[in-house]
Amino acid sequence: MYQASEFQGFWANFIRVTIETDLGVKERIVMQKKASIMRYALIALMILFVFAVLDLIWQYNQAPTYFGGVITPPKQMPDFTLQSAKGDVSLSDFKGQIVVLAFGYMSCPDICPTVLADLRQAALKMDPREAAQVQVIFVSVDYLRDTPKLVDAYVGNFDPTFLGLAGSQDQINKVTSDFGIYYNLNQPDPETGFYTVDHSSVVLVLDPDGALIMTWPFDMAVDKITADLRTLARQAKR
């Protein structure tokens, strides 16, 4: 026969084991819930990651958006050689860079300084690494007055990285004809000898392969010029 103390001890142990077992079950249930939550959270993160990657791939494969007039397909342009203050310069010297090509003359009262000032502002808005991929070239069509040194100094007043080129009448006629640029030296004033020059105001943009990819009107907003150059720079890296 069990004594009272043994009987009490039995029930005390039974109750203790039951409580410990119950606590263990509850702990396992809590741990299982936590594990389930973590699994669901991990799955959600993986799904978000997959969608983010797919979105990047989609954006990468989208055709770039430009503000200028896009030439489709880009038109391969002929090479030319003109004179800078330091000697002969060829368009092909800048293969691998984006070339922004503007035509005008130093005595131009409005269009030329506006174009060069806008290009300067666009260059300042760009990241230095992006700007380094762009070369601005200003070609003077005023072969009678604008010498290579004068043109170089003129464009240097806007930005020291801009390149000014000049040439003989035959050279200028060839380049403007090849690039679809109109110009005409008007009759000089009989008293002062001063004359103006009519010329196309369009700005040409060539891709790193030397193909004409875009044109800009001279009054295009600086922010749009900057956006186009940034997009071209990113495309050139692909």
- Same domain, yes or no, for 129 and 193? yes
Q: Are residues 149 and 219 in the same domain?
A: yes
Same domain assignment for residues 49 and 159: no
Q: What is the C-alpha to C-alpha distance for residues 235 and 233, in angstroms, rounded to an integer?
A: 5
Domain containing residue 31: 1-62
pLDDT at 236: 75
Mark whether 99 and 214 lie in a shared domain: yes
Q: What is the pLDDT of residue 39?
A: 73
Q: How many domains does the chain have?
A: 2
- CA dist 118 and 220 (Å) reads 9
- Cα 20 to chain centroid distance, Å, stands at 67
Alpha helix ranges (H) inside 62-109? none
Q: Are residues 147 and 96 in the same domain?
A: yes
Indicate whether 7 pLDDT > 60: no
CA 135 to chain centre: 13
Question: Same domain for 77 and 172?
Answer: yes
- Residue scoring higher pLDDT (156 or 32): 156
pLDDT, position 52: 59
% residues pLDDT > 90 (the chain): 70
User: Checking phi first, is residue 79 left (phi over 0); if not, alpha (psi -120 to 50) or beta?
Assistant: beta
Do 55 and 78 lie in one domain? The reply is: no
Give the model's pLDDT for residue 9.
57
How far apart are the C-alpha atoms of 57 and 87, rounded to whole Å?
46
Token pair listed for 32: 């299982």
pTM (predicted TM-score): 0.75
Task: List pLDDT tens digits, range 183-234.
Answer: 999 999 999 999 999 999 999 999 999 999 999 999 999 999 999 999 999 8
Query: In sequence order, what are the residues at sequence separation of 6 or more whose Cβ sits closer than 8 angstroms to the Cβ of residue 140?
Result: 103, 104, 105, 106, 146, 151, 164, 165, 166, 172
What is the pLDDT averaged over residues 115-127?
A: 96
